[in-house]
Structure 1
Amino acid sequence: MSGQSITDRITAAQHSVTGSAISKTVCKATTHEIMGPKKKHLDYLIQCTNEMNVNIPQLADTLFERTTNTSWVVVFKSLTATHHLMVYGNERFIQYLASRNTLFNLSNFLDKSGLQGYDMSTFIRRYSRYLNEKAVSYRQVAFDFTKVKRGSDGLMRTMNTEKLLKTIPIIQSQMDVLLDFNVNANELTNGVINAAFMLLFKDAIRLFAAYNEGIINLLEKYFDMKKVQCKDGLDIYKKFLTRMTRISEFLKVAEQVGIDRGDIPDLSQAPSSLLDALEQHLASLEGKKVKDSTAASRASTLSNAVSSLANTGISFTKVDEREKQAALEEEQARLKALKEQRLKELQKNPTTDSSPVSTVGGTISSAPAIDLFSTPSSTNSTSKAANDLLDLQPAFQQPLPLSTTSTWGGFTASPTPHQPQNSRGLNVDFDSVFGNNANANNLDSTVLPACVFFQ
């Protein structure tokens, strides 16, 4: 199967009509094409999780709805898209998933359409179980183990004993479900499962790094713990040794499928003498007879073990930092490409709207600016007001000059001559009113009768 199916095209068209951009993008990210979700669609969904006006429950429900499809391709890609948003999206997304009672109910999923459907259905059930466990872990501790601060002052290294003994089992449960994906190199045969495996690989590195730092903190506190705490701590450490073997096998699969050797961390096993020292210390607290061991020998054994585990943690941290640096360089390259594309567009289509200079036929012509404070020309002053009102010419009339001998206290003006009326109505002489052909005496003669009338 290759290319989008008719169903994919119809569904995308329906969402285009309804105007739901998120639903349309989810549909395009989870098509029947046997390939991982496209990066441009995942980037858009990540951006949506960062927008405050986007309804996160609606986005999550749209992804959940796609998992009800009968095609293993659509369901697998829906799980991959959800996992991608849990890792790289805004924390609001995983917070909402953690608040739900149930996420993916795919424990009985089976695609009977073909042999490949049978094979991939097994991994879909395992993958959905891990995503459920990842959300449950967040609900229990209120943070994502793959995103916690690491180092000597990190969260797992500075956690107190009581909280540490409750937190490490949660990491162990999540790590167990992740490793239960249990895929071999010859089973990674298509782009859909490969995309899911890459996300699981990155989660495994970060999760084990937090797990490793929790164990270092546990060992540093072990010889100061109470008897019950030492018993729980010893059990946790034994499970940790088992999981180191399983994570080593998981990393071998990653190397076999072509992941760069520099992106795969090195695992350093703690000395076996440490386990003996831990067991003897617990036995001494229980009152059993044990071999005598000096404090110096115990301190030396503990120091060697912590140093070995610290080297493992450094190796995991370097891999994570290289991944972040690669992502940063990729974003910078994309930004540079967008800038270059924009500059080319501006060079091809220069903007001329905001410029008063117009270029027509290769010549440059500039409209003369209007001087609002200059004295109008004689041609403008002699034009009639009626024509000026109709033609809307930008010429301003000069204010009427006032006679210095004519004041409101005493008038020296001659009466205004009577203007004859025609049969059509009042005939107004605009030249006399607006002062085009009138002098100061004409103004006084016009104003005088009105003043005498109001007296």
Structure 2
Amino acid sequence: MSSYDKVVKLACKPKAAPPKAKYLDTIIAATWSEDGAVHDVCKALSPRFREPNVIVVFKALIVLHTMIRNGSTDNILAYLSSSDVLKLRNVSSGNWEGYSTPQNLQNYATYLDARIRAYRDLKHDAIRVQAESNRDMRNSQSIEQDTIKVKKGPVKPAATLPARSKTIMGRKLRVMTVEKGLLRETKAVHRMIDALLECRFYLDDLEDELVITSLRMLVKDLLILFQAGNEGVINVLEHYFEMSHIDAKEALAIYRHFCNQTERVVEYLGVAKKLQNLLNVPIPNLKHAPVSLAGALQEYLDDPNFEQNRLEYRANGRAADKAAKTNGAETKPPPLPSSSTSSKPEPPRPSMESTTSNGNAQPNGQPTIVADFFSSIEEQQPNMFNPQT
């Protein structure tokens, strides 16, 4: 019996209340240790998932989720992804003693298992990477604001200015190339979001503290995960016309899935927005990639001159980059070759209102205009919630 058996047992005792902070603090501290404490904690936690009392199982899931969120994420997920010690997929929502089974307990276990499996495939945690990137962005903005203030005030030596974050490029999916696995990693993030969206704890008893605790952490995860997935889709769209036919076909499937998934995320966060006083989680009006481009993308993919168009587009892109470097001007997206253009009218600006139920807008615009639109797609993102929401 390890020294963590007792504290894990106390954290998961059959009382319908969230695990106490004094137990969680000890468990979280263990995750940062390099002496094998993560192994001991997970080994002590494993039998809690096979308990007949649903409170014990539910609290064990909450403890695990808290460990991943607040502890050493890499240490925990690296260990769990190399060993199926917890067997989360075996968590059952069948017959339990002493408690009415939460409707989404199995889905909660499936989501945490999906996050572990994603780490095994990607070798990093998408939520942690995106969260650190967000901090870098905020730090960068703060540095720029401080620099402006310094310039307006008395002149100070440059050494007194804070150094710009070196990990500003941590927006992994935003800067990743197709060759480095952009499509694969974007799909992995979308799979995690799909698993999370099944955890609809807001349909359970909202007076139950365990339900509220788990829903609070899920909403926080979703806010970060959706941002990561959205940046991946923006990157996919910006490179769509440079991809091979196989990659473009896969990219279009990713985009269609994103369109459907965005509707579900809006619904989920819409409920969380109404419950934000209860959850104590502010829900921002997130931006997301346009969801009405599927028709135009499909039209480009079906063009019989696809390969010729792609090669000409890439050649135009290299020429535009060279000219931009020579002139010191900002690079603009190269136009698509003339063989892919038509006399069709310009497509409307993508918006939530123009979205169809399956994300398949009718191809009522030419690919050239869509390609030009992609150059500023990050700045043109619509808001998730309408003002009336």
CA distance in 1, matches of 2:280, 2:24: 27
**Residues 56/271 of structure 1: CA separation in 2 closer, same or farther (3 Å cut):** closer
Name the SS of the counterpart of 1:35 in structure 2: coil
1:96 to 71, 75, 79: 79
**Residues 86/126 of structure 1: CA separation in 2 closer, same or farther (3 Å cut):** same
CA distance in 1, matches of 2:89, 2:369: 52
The code of the aligned residue for 1:47 comes to A
Following superposition, the deviation at residue 219 of structure 1 comes to 0.9
**Residues 285/62 of structure 1: CA separation in 2 closer, same or farther (3 Å cut):** farther
C-alpha contact (below 8 Å) 2:341/2:367 kept by paired residues: no
Partner residue in 1 for 2:272: 254
CA distance in 2, matches of 1:167, 1:134: 13
1:195 to 184, 194, 213: 213
Name the SS of the counterpart of 1:161 in structure 2: coil
Partner residue in 2 for 1:53: 35
State yes or no: 1:276 paired with 2:295.
yes
The code of the aligned residue for 2:43 comes to D
Partner residue in 1 for 2:357: none
C-alpha contact (below 8 Å) 1:77/1:192 kept by paired residues: yes
Alignment of 1:93-172 (within 5 A): 93-101=76-84, 103-113=87-97, 116-118=99-101, 120=102, 122-149=103-130, 150=133, 153=169, 154-162=171-179, 163-172=181-190
The code of the aligned residue for 1:297 comes to I
Alignment of 1:54-453 (within 5 A): 54-90=36-72, 91-101=74-84, 103-113=87-97, 116-118=99-101, 120=102, 122-149=103-130, 150=133, 153=169, 154-162=171-179, 163-184=181-202, 187-259=205-277, 263-268=282-287, 270-271=289-290, 274-284=293-303, 291-292=342-343, 297-303=369-375, 305-309=377-381
Partner residue in 2 for 1:352: none
Following superposition, the deviation at residue 276 of structure 1 comes to 3.1
C-alpha contact (below 8 Å) 1:222/1:233 kept by paired residues: yes
Long gaps (5+) in structure 1: 1-17, 313-455
The code of the aligned residue for 1:99 comes to S
**Residues 68/185 of structure 1: CA separation in 2 closer, same or farther (3 Å cut):** closer
Following superposition, the deviation at residue 216 of structure 1 comes to 1.1
C-alpha contact (below 8 Å) 2:17/2:210 kept by paired residues: yes
**Residues 142/224 of structure 1: CA separation in 2 closer, same or farther (3 Å cut):** same
- The superposition leaves residues 248-304 of structure 1 with CA deviations (integer Å, 9 ceiling, x where unpaired) of 111122123234798212144544553333222212256699845667623443245
**Residues 268/210 of structure 1: CA separation in 2 closer, same or farther (3 Å cut):** closer
CA distance in 1, matches of 2:46, 2:35: 21
CA distance in 2, matches of 1:127, 1:282: 38
Name the SS of the counterpart of 1:110 in structure 2: coil
Following superposition, the deviation at residue 145 of structure 1 comes to 0.5
- The superposition leaves residues 165-211 of structure 1 with CA deviations (integer Å, 9 ceiling, x where unpaired) of 11111111111111111233553331112111111111111111111
The code of the aligned residue for 2:47 comes to E
C-alpha contact (below 8 Å) 2:16/2:210 kept by paired residues: yes
Name the SS of the counterpart of 2:201 in structure 1: coil
CA distance in 1, matches of 2:78, 2:219: 22
How large is the Cα RMSD of the aligned pairs?
2.7
C-alpha contact (below 8 Å) 1:29/1:77 kept by paired residues: yes
C-alpha contact (below 8 Å) 2:237/2:374 kept by paired residues: yes
**Residues 183/60 of structure 1: CA separation in 2 closer, same or farther (3 Å cut):** same
1:36 to 4, 8, 18: 18
CA distance in 2, matches of 1:68, 1:27: 13
* TM-score normalised to structure 2 length: 0.68
- The superposition leaves residues 191-245 of structure 1 with CA deviations (integer Å, 9 ceiling, x where unpaired) of 1121111111111111111111111111111111121111111110110011111
Partner residue in 2 for 1:424: none
CA distance in 2, matches of 1:56, 1:174: 23
Percent identity over the alignment is 27
2:5 to 23, 44, 49: 23
**Residues 211/38 of structure 1: CA separation in 2 closer, same or farther (3 Å cut):** same
Long gaps (5+) in structure 2: 138-167, 307-338, 345-365, 385-389
The code of the aligned residue for 1:281 comes to Y
**Residues 140/286 of structure 1: CA separation in 2 closer, same or farther (3 Å cut):** farther
Number of aligned residues: 291
Name the SS of the counterpart of 1:308 in structure 2: coil
